[in-house]
Amino acid sequence: MDNEMVIGVDLGGTHMRTALVDGTGSILRRQKTATSISLGVRQTTQRLIAECRAEMDAAEEFGGTVIGIGLGVAGKVDHKRGWVVFSPNLPAMRDYPLGPELENSLGLPVLLENDTNVFGIGENWVGAGREIHNWVGLTLGTGVGGCLILDGKLWNGDNLGFVGEIGHMIVHPEGPRCTCGLNGCLEAHASGRALLEFVNDAASRGWLTSGPLYELWNDGKLNAQGIYRCSLAGDPTAQKAFARMGWALGLALANLFTVLGIRSVILGGGVSAGWDQFIEPLGRSLAEHSSMLVVEDAVIQRSALGDDAALLGAARLALQYYSLPSL
C-alpha cells in the first residue's frame, strides 16, 4: 500500500498546479504551470495531461505508482460524471467532460470537485480541521467560497449541484449588489471584489481625494493587496472596507453557528492573508450577533495548508475513491 500515490490538481485561471502525494498526505513533488483564460479547452487539457504524465514518471522514480487523480476546479462541477459545468476561471470549459478526457488519456480514475470543497477536504485531512468534527470552511478570494464539514466529512446535501454556498448567504437584505444578482450576500461584503468596490465607490463619490489609496485608485492599480497595505498604514477608507468584511463574516458565522449548533471555522483563500485587518471586527460582530454561543467558545482558525489545501484535498479525493464502500 505504501507505494501507492495520487496526483492532486488545482486548476485555476492563471496557473495549473499539480502535486504528487502519498497516502499520508505528504507532497513528494509539485509543479506550477502558467495557463491562460485565452487557451482553448483542447490546449488546457493537453497541458494538464502532460503535467500528470510528468507526475506519474516522478512517482516511478520514488518507487511508487499513481493510482488516481483528483482535481479541484473553481465553479460548478458535476462530480458524479466528472464534468466541468461552468468555471469562471475557464469559461471555455462549459459543460466539458474533463474527467473522462483525462481518464481516457491516462488510464486512471479522475475525480473532480469544486475548489472550496477540496480546500475543505484538504484541511480536514491534514490541516487545521484534522481534529475538528464539525466546521465551516470559507475561502476568501475574488469571491467567497464555502463548505461544511459535518461528522468529519464534506457535507453534500441533496446533491442538487450546489452546497455550502456560504458566499451567497444574505447578511443584509438591503446590502450591496452581488455578482450573483442578489443584494447583500456575504460575498458582496467580504470578498476581494467587495474590498475593491467599497474603495471604488468611496473614490467615485469624492470621499477619497488624496493619499496612497487614492493614488492606487487614480492610477487604475487598485487591488486587494494594495487596500490591505493602505489599511495597515492607517488609511480610514481601507480600514472601513476591512471592517465591513469582518462585520459580514461575523454575522454569517453567528447565523451558521446558531443554526448548526457548532463553533468552528477555518478561513482560507488569498484574501484571508488580510486577517489582522478584519479579525477584530469579525470577533465583535460574532459577539454582537450570537444569541446562543458564548463567543469565547468560538474556534476561528486560519488555513494550516495555505495553497496546498486544494492540492491535498484533490489528492485525498483520489485516495477516497478506493476506500469508499459505495464506489
Q: Which residues bind a second copy (CB under 8 A)?
A: 133-134, 146, 148, 150, 155-160, 162-166, 168-173, 178, 180-182, 185, 251, 254-256, 258-264, 288-289, 291-293, 297
- DSSP annotation of 211: S
Closer Cβ to a second copy, 15 or 76, answer by number: 76
Closer Cβ to a second copy, 68 or 281, answer by number: 281
Closer Cβ to a second copy, 17 or 289, answer by number: 289
- CA–CA separation, 276 vs 239, rounded Å? 11
For the bound state, the minimum distance from the C-beta of residue 120 to a second copy, rounded and expressed in Å, comes to: 13
For the bound state, the minimum distance from the C-beta of residue 316 to a second copy, rounded and expressed in Å, comes to: 20
Look at the block and give the residue holding cell 514518471. 57
Helix crossing, 41-61 with 98-106: angle to 10°? 40
Closer Cβ to a second copy, 259 or 327, answer by number: 259
Write the CA distances from 13 to 35, 123, 309, integer angstroms.
7, 22, 17
For the bound state, the minimum distance from the C-beta of residue 252 to a second copy, rounded and expressed in Å, comes to: 9
Closer Cβ to a second copy, 49 or 287, answer by number: 287
10 near 17, Cβ under 8 Å? yes
Closer Cβ to a second copy, 28 or 170, answer by number: 170
Q: Which three cell numbers stand for residue 21?
A: 502525494
Q: Pairing relation of β-strands 135-140 and 264-268?
A: parallel
Closer Cβ to a second copy, 107 or 173, answer by number: 173
For the bound state, the minimum distance from the C-beta of residue 327 to a second copy, rounded and expressed in Å, comes to: 18
For the bound state, the minimum distance from the C-beta of residue 128 to a second copy, rounded and expressed in Å, comes to: 16
Residue 227: closest CA among 277, 281, 282 = 277
For the bound state, the minimum distance from the C-beta of residue 241 to a second copy, rounded and expressed in Å, comes to: 18
Count of other CB atoms within 10 angstroms of residue 173: 8
Taking the CA atoms of residue 254, residue 257, residue 259 and residue 261 in that order, the dihedral angle to the nearest 10 degrees is: -150
For the bound state, the minimum distance from the C-beta of residue 5 to a second copy, rounded and expressed in Å, comes to: 32
Residue 222: closest CA among 194, 185, 180 = 194
143 near 126, Cβ under 8 Å? no
CB-based contacts of 246: which residues, under 8 Å, 6+ apart?
A: 278, 279, 280, 281, 282, 283, 284, 285
